[in-house]
Amino acid sequence: MPPVNSIVCVKPVPDPRRWSELALDPVTKTLRREGIPSVLNPLDKHALEEALRMKERFGGIVTAISMAPVTATDSLREAIAIGADDAVLLSDRSFAGADTLATSYALAAAIKKLGKFDLILCGNQSLDGGTGQVGPEIAEFLGVPHVTYARKIDLLDRGIVRVERALEYGYMLIETRMPLVLSVVKEINVPRHIPLMRISEAMQAEVRVWTSRDLDVDSSRIGLSGSPTQVADLFLPVLKRRGEMLSGAPDTVSKLLVQRLRELAVI
Amino acid sequence: MAACRGVWVFAEQTHRKLMSVSIEMLGSGRKIADKLNTDLTALLLGHDVRDLADELVAHGADKVYLVESELLTFYHSEAYATIIGELAKKHRPEVFLLGSTSAGRDLAPRVAAKLCTGLTADCVSLDVDERGQLLQVVPAFGGNVMATVLCPRHRPQMATVRPGVMKTPTIVEGRHGEVVEIPVDLKQEDFNIKILDVVTEEPRAAPIDTADVVVAGGWGVGNIDDWRLIEELARSMGAAVGATRPPVDEKWASEDQLIGQSGKTVRPRLYVGVAISGAMQHLVGVQDSKVIVAINKDPNAPIFKATDFGIVADFREVVPPLADEIRKLR
């Protein structure tokens, strides 16, 4: 079995434990996220783990890639601390405001520049946007197959890959070939534990930063202007309910609740 | 772009049965098509599925594109994306909706990239503005924020739709529609993806997404022994058992019992949340319930802001008498 060179797409996302602090600017209708630290998207750690296991088994190079503001450099250093050999950050004002299509287009261009690859691994979706679109869109731009919801990956001889793809009612066993894009779900593995010490040591590691000028891209297809979708409005969800609090001893309050639910004919 | 006409719905079937979200999308698709004064077309791909076309017409489709081949029996990402991409390039719809299922979420981005158009994920509401643009409402950050998304200059305007959110349209008996067969000659050797097997795995608990009553437990339940109280309460009401993320991670409940942004949306007539604090990513999955009840010992738990009836108490004390009280009704 020849070495397997993997590219792992990672995304820094605002720490979900702090999401309740996200605030809407009522005037600009944009999201205020200052002071909320970023973490690596959890599923991307499973993608990285899978790439590292293949490298440990077959050899090869693992490259982490992301498109994000330059503050994301630390997230890529974290990927290096976990075990990635190399890291590339696409960061440029001209990339800002990209939707999934413009993001995938730029990432595909960067992957072409990186050269030959066998596998591109992604988390099945990000925690913040949660679209799960970037993996299949990169695959289309690169003209390679893709499999999403991958929960088990077996590399066979001659570049043949068998993938268990999770479904609502079970799974589908797929046979395909490298190069390809795989989007993984959390059942695929348990990511290794990295001591904080190693992460802080890696904060000196070099991350290559590429701008749009480093890539062979059509400038009308990147960033906000290259994004077909536009956010027209942001708002906080309104939850309207009766809000009646029932109190009393357990027996009393149970009777009261059952009575209310009977009045509304829901039981 | 001006020449783009028509609303398309991907009518996903599995084991020769339509997915419920496919029917739900015909309801909202019908409204959108009427507002745009155009036709509603369903795309039906599969093997030996012709009888499903009548069901699609009865639920609101004006036209069904029927593509049949043994290779299309199950969702085959490469074959489905190629066929649908070519159909869309030829017929140029202005709106294209797909279910937010494992197949729809795989197919939609591949097709969107082929057509170089925008795609909005997991819509919970769809409408058309005065300029005929599709208004797509999606949750972000686990439902802490909602966004209205537009796709102003590209067609089709593509969206995936969250299952269980749109209402199922009523059947119109005797409704007429046109079934257009699209002949294809597909050979496995032309594709890089081959489906070797499709395996059905038994879900452990009653499906929560179709249940009339759902009892859900959260992190506050504390341990597997007390989780049985949640299951006992559910049994007393004939309810399905749901869960937030921590009980699933702790394996008290299984993944298909997960309710919320990263799990299922439920819309039962009664939802009872026990020892659930009420993080937004869970509440977005229950907010369409007719009546919401919460039991939590913390009076400041956010779930009390989104409930019809709240009880501040240790659930271990309230759940047994409540289950008894409900059993008396039988």
Summarize pLDDT for A195-242 with one digit per residue, the tens: 989 999 999 999 999 999 999 999 999 999 999 999 999 988 776 788
Name chain B contacts of A171, Cβ cutoff 8 Å. 198-199, 201
Query: Which of B105, B118, B149 has its CB closest to that of A232?
Result: B149
Predicted pLDDT of residue B147: 92
Residues from chain A that touch B121, judged by Cβ atoms under 8 A, are: 129-133
Q: Closest chain B residue to A159 measured between Cα atoms?
A: B192
Are A64 and A203 in contact by the 8 Å Cβ rule? The answer is no
Give the pLDDT confidence score for residue B143 in this predicted structure: 73
pLDDT at B206: 65
Within an 8 Å CB–CB cutoff, is residue B131 touching chain A? no
Same fold, B7-190 and B208-327: yes
The pLDDT value given to residue A23: 81
**CB-closest option in A134, A136, A257 to B322:** A257
Query: For chain B, how far is it from start to end, CA to CA, in angstroms?
Result: 60
pLDDT exceeds cutoff 80 at A84: yes
- Closest Cα in chain A, distance from residue B327 (Å): 11
Superfamily designation of domain A6-226: HUPs (3.40.50.620)
Among B193, B254, B304, B305, which would you mutate to test the A interface (most chain A Cβ atoms within 10 Å of its Cβ)?
B193
B56: alpha, beta or left? (left if phi > 0; alpha if psi -120 to 50): alpha
Q: Is B1 on the interface with A (CB under 8 A)?
A: no
Nearest chain A alpha carbon to B103? A167
User: Which one, of A145, A106, A79, A24, lies nearest residue B77 by Cα?
Assistant: A145
Report, as ranges of residue numbers, the positions in chain B whose pLDDT lies below 50.
Answer: none
Q: How far apart are CA B242 and CA B216, in angstroms?
A: 4
Residue labelled with tokens 């969107």 = B112
* 3-state SS, residue A36: coil
Instruction: Note the pLDDT of residue B60.
Output: 97
More confident residue, B103 or A22: B103
Tell me the domain boundaries of chain B: 7-190, 208-327
pTM: 0.84
CATH class of B208-327: alpha beta
Are B108 and B80 contacting, i.e. CB atoms less than 8 angstroms apart?
Answer: no
Considering the domain B7-190 in this protein, what is its CATH number?
3.40.50.620
Average model confidence (pLDDT) across chain A = 93
Give the angle subtended at the CA of A42 by the CAs of A1 and A68, to the nearest 5°: 95
User: Helix, strand or coil for residue A43?
Assistant: helix
Looking at the partner chain, which of A132, A162, A264 has a beta carbon nearest the beta carbon of B105?
A: A132
Q: What is the ipTM of this complex?
A: 0.91
Helical H segments across chain B, by residue range: 20-35, 50-58, 77-91, 104-115, 224-237, 245-249, 280-283, 315-327
pLDDT digits (tens, 9 = 90+) for B247-284: 999 999 999 999 998 899 998 989 999 999 999 889 98
Instruction: Report, in angstroms and rounded to the nearest whole number, the Rg of chain B calculated over CA atoms.
Output: 22
Determine the Cα angle at A182 with ends A180 and A183, to 5°. Answer: 155
